[in-house]
Amino acid sequence: MNGPRFGSIALVIVLFALIAGGVYAYQRSQTEVLVDSPAVRVESNKATGETTVDAPFAHVEKDGSGTRVQAPGVDVNVPKEPPQVPSNP
């Protein structure tokens, strides 16, 4: 009699964990809009660590590979610096 009851409880726990994990993964994959006004729009994606800023005459994008700035007459690409390893004397 206890066997089916424990099986049902275990199944409910597993299903709850799967649903909670799915909701968490979905939320992490969505782009979050931090600022949305006529002058500027700032978006951040937590899953990739990417941040994008759009303004009427400029576009700034930061991600794992570095930072890019594009505006009239300006096109700057700054690569991400590799981590520095301390040298032994």
DSSP state of 88: P
Do the domain assignments include residue 87? Answer: no
Here the CATH number for the domain that contains residue 15 is 2.60.220
pLDDT of residue 89: 60
Question: Residue 88 has what pLDDT?
Answer: 67
Query: Which pLDDT tens digit goes with each residue over 29-87?
Result: 666 767 777 788 888 877 777 888 888 888 888 888 888 888 888 888 888 887 777 77
Average pLDDT, stretch 14-38?
A: 76
**How many domains does the structure of the chain reveal?**
1
Cβ within 8 Å of residue 50, ≥6 positions away: 44, 61, 62, 63, 64
Tell me if 35 is assigned to some domain: yes
State the residue range of the domain holding 47. Answer: 2-79
In a domain, 86, yes or no: no
Record the pTM: 0.48
Q: Is the pLDDT of residue 1 over 70?
A: no
